[in-house]
Amino acid sequence: MKSKIPLMPENKKNQKKSHQASIIYLIIIAFILSGVYVLSNQTPATTVTEINYSTFLSQANGQQIDSLSFTDDRINITLKDGKEEYTVKDPRATPYDLLNDIPLENRQNLNIDIIDSSQSDFWLNLFMQILPFLLIVGFLIFLMRHAQNSNNQALSFGQSKARIYDNNANKKTTFQDVAGSKEAKEELVEIVDFLKNPAKYTAIGAKIPKGVLLIGHPGTGKTLLARAVAGEANVPFFSISGSEFVEMFVGVGASRVRDLFKKAKRNAPCIIFIDEIDAVGRHRGAGLGGGHDEREQTLNQILTEMDGFEVNDNVIIMAATNRPDVLDPALLRPGRFDRRITVDLPTLEERKEILNVHARNKPLVKNIDLRVIARHTPGFSGADLENIMNEAAILAAKKGEKKIDQLDIEKSVEKVMMGPERKSKILSEKEKKITAYHEVGHALVAHNIPECDPVQKISIISRGMALGVTWFLPEEDYMLYSKSKFEGEICSLLGGYVAEQIMFKETTTGPSNDLERATKIAKNMVTKFAMSDIGLTIFGGGQQEVFLGRDYASHTKDYSEKSAEQIDYQVNVILESAYNKTKTILIKNKKKLCEIAEYLLKKETITREEFLNFFKTKEAIVA
């Protein structure tokens, strides 16, 4: 995966680094030396005792001294019995002055040594005097180099920072690494073939496409697919991210584009890959908030360069985006990015395959069922699934297991969906009880409405913001939602609220998120899907995402006050009727509600089987 190599030669970079390092070493050595100097100048820690001058004189007169040596500020004394002493002397007094204090007959046998301390310290002193200059010079050199580096950087600004993928690396990405996305791969195989045998296509007059645009949600594997094309085609592959075109200085982007295309032409046949092209390819003239001039220039340059390519240049430009709606139409017209490949969120089968790909280098226990995991994860992207397998491996490693088991993966799905369990969050008995009834309320209502997904698990261990969680497990991925499915969903969302109301006579802040979601579904039913009595009109233009600029105007309300009132009324009708239905279900099942909630309070987590058991026993008794 990490097979990118920078275009700048490694050794040049290293050289630069080692220069800087040696200067830093020089400075450190200088500091150490000066430290040594300071230490060496301190009084030696000793067995040599200090005596005062009169003691010295009396020792001299008693002829106890064997030898003397004079330094600047001391007299070092060696006694005849081998003991060593010193006494402090006035630096201005010469040895001759001092010796005069001792009568001649007492100093005749003394060995006298005069040490010129200025001599011995000559080199050190010299060094200490030069040191500050050395430091300053070193610092200056350091600064100059630094400045030079940034100069170089400024000069190379206009060059593209495109990276070439190393096709020789043994870990190159191929289509094998991309699970699912069958249609996308089929289209891309064609591109690979264009690059490998261009003659085959040009011979019968087929034009080789210039631009391929990969469109899809984040994490669906667009970048991965582009890398796989590079790996399969075995041609040079220049990869750059849209945001890299845009820098501090105006004009840099355009010049980078020029440079990139020039490089590519020299290396043809090859692929240019522009990741996250929406960073530069936005609708021109939509620049609210400034800075759009630079982007426009960059985009214009890309368009010009793409037109400048000849059919037989054999350079294919790939780009990826998750916001095709904001791209400038000029990018999308024929002759530019006219091949558009949509990379969808993976289906159930594809999720299983992706899980398989990411389980390849992980030890799993034998009987693991990745299909169940795939069923748990509708709407997950390839990147999410990769994350799940990784989290599972971490969980298993934490527990000290050698292999990953089903439970590890299921736990990691829950963690990725809801955040980690927060066992430290202590709820009071009352709060726990309310949470238990609330969650069982969701589950019971869903169980009693055929359109609702089956209950998978109920838990009152808090996670992230939620105090409790009820999981549902859809049988398969839905492409279409019916009105009754929406209504069922609203009912099960209201289940928590109604359960609290029935059991405790008042409600808490707990259901606020549930109510918000229920309201949103109801609103969408009215304004987007014409599922209410209000008629066929769609309100709000179906616009969801705000792109500052282009859609600015269309985001103001496009319906009258009267319609707004009607919408509010219809939303309320939907919620009201769902509320009544929910209440009926829960009152009818109040006994079950209590039974299951009390069980949940004891166990904290109930599995699907345990939940279903509550209904089996009854049926068994009836039968």
The residues annotated with a catalytic role in the active site are 439
Q: 3-state SS of the chain: helix, strand, coil percent to 5?
A: 55, 10, 35
Q: State the residues that interact with Mg ion by CB under 5 A.
A: 223
Question: Are 606 and 471 in contact, with CB atoms under 8 Å apart?
Answer: no
Query: What is the nearest approach in angstroms of Zn ion to the Cβ of residue 417?
Result: 15
Q: Is 242 in the site for Zn ion (CB under 5 A)?
A: no
Question: From the list 70, 382, 514, 571, which residue makes contact with Zn ion (rule: CB under 5 A)?
Answer: 514
Query: What is the nearest approach in angstroms of ligand ADP to the Cβ of residue 503?
Result: 45
Question: Are 409 and 351 in contact, with CB atoms under 8 Å apart?
Answer: no
Closest to ligand ADP by CB, 178 or 280: 178
**DSSP codes joined into one string, 325-341:** GGB-HHHHSTTSS-EEE
Residue 495 interface partner, choices Zn ion, ligand ADP, Mg ion, none, CB cut-off 5-8 Å depending on type: none
Question: From the list 3, 87, 160, 220, which residue makes contact with ligand ADP (rule: CB under 6 A)?
Answer: 220
Q: How many residues bind ligand ADP (CB under 6 A)?
A: 18
Closest to ligand ADP by CB, 357 or 427: 357
Q: Is 224 in the site for ligand ADP (CB under 6 A)?
A: yes
Pick left, alpha or beta for residue 340 (phi over 0 → left; psi -120 to 50 → alpha; otherwise beta).
Answer: beta
Question: Are 212 and 316 in contact, with CB atoms under 8 Å apart?
Answer: yes
- What x-and-dash track marks residues 472-501 binding Zn ion by CB under 5 A? ------------------------x-----
Closest to ligand ADP by CB, 364 or 526: 364
Closest to ligand ADP by CB, 230 or 518: 230
Nearest to 584 by CA among 464, 462, 449, 484: 449
Query: What is the nearest approach in angstroms of ligand ADP to the Cβ of residue 218?
Result: 4
- What x-and-dash track marks residues 340-379 binding ligand ADP by CB under 6 A? --------------x--x----------------------
Residue 181 interface partner, choices ligand ADP, Zn ion, Mg ion, none, CB cut-off 5-8 Å depending on type: ligand ADP
Residue 224 interface partner, choices ligand ADP, Zn ion, Mg ion, none, CB cut-off 5-8 Å depending on type: ligand ADP
Question: Are 269 and 314 in contact, with CB atoms under 8 Å apart?
Answer: yes
Q: How many CA atoms lie within 13 A of 255 on its CB side?
A: 11
**Cβ count within 10 A of residue 355:** 25
Closest to ligand ADP by CB, 78 or 342: 342
Query: What is the nearest approach in angstroms of Zn ion to the Cβ of residue 425?
Result: 16
H-run or E-run covering 50: strand 49-50
Closest to Mg ion by CB, 102 or 345: 345
Cis check for the bond before 209: say yes or no (omega within 30 of 0). no
HEC sequence for 177-217: HCCCCHHHHHHHHHHHHHHHCHHHHHCCCCCCCCEEEEEEC
Closest to Zn ion by CB, 219 or 496: 496
**Cβ count within 10 A of residue 590:** 13
Q: Is 222 in the site for ligand ADP (CB under 6 A)?
A: yes
Query: What is the nearest approach in angstroms of ligand ADP to the Cβ of residue 317?
Result: 17
Closest to Mg ion by CB, 87 or 321: 321
Encoded tokens for 522 = 């109801």
Nearest to 441 by CA among 464, 470, 410: 470
**Cβ count within 10 A of residue 276:** 20
Q: Is 219 in the site for ligand ADP (CB under 6 A)?
A: yes
Residue 383 interface partner, choices Zn ion, ligand ADP, Mg ion, none, CB cut-off 5-8 Å depending on type: ligand ADP
294 vs 289: CA distance, rounded Å: 13
What is the chain's Cα-based Rg? 41
CB neighbour list of residue 41: distance below 8 Å, 6 or more residues apart? none
**Interface with ligand ADP in residues 377-406 (CB under 6 A):** 382-383, 386
Residue 179 interface partner, choices Mg ion, Zn ion, ligand ADP, none, CB cut-off 5-8 Å depending on type: ligand ADP
Query: What is the nearest approach in angstroms of ligand ADP to the Cβ of residue 174?
Result: 12
Question: Are 172 and 3 in contact, with CB atoms under 8 Å apart?
Answer: yes
Q: Is 242 in the site for ligand ADP (CB under 6 A)?
A: no
**Interface with ligand ADP in residues 144-183 (CB under 6 A):** 178-181
Q: Which residue is nearest to Mg ion (CB)?
A: 223
Binding site for Zn ion (CB under 5 A): 496, 514
Binding site for ligand ADP (CB under 6 A): 178-181, 216, 218-224, 320, 354, 357, 382-383, 386
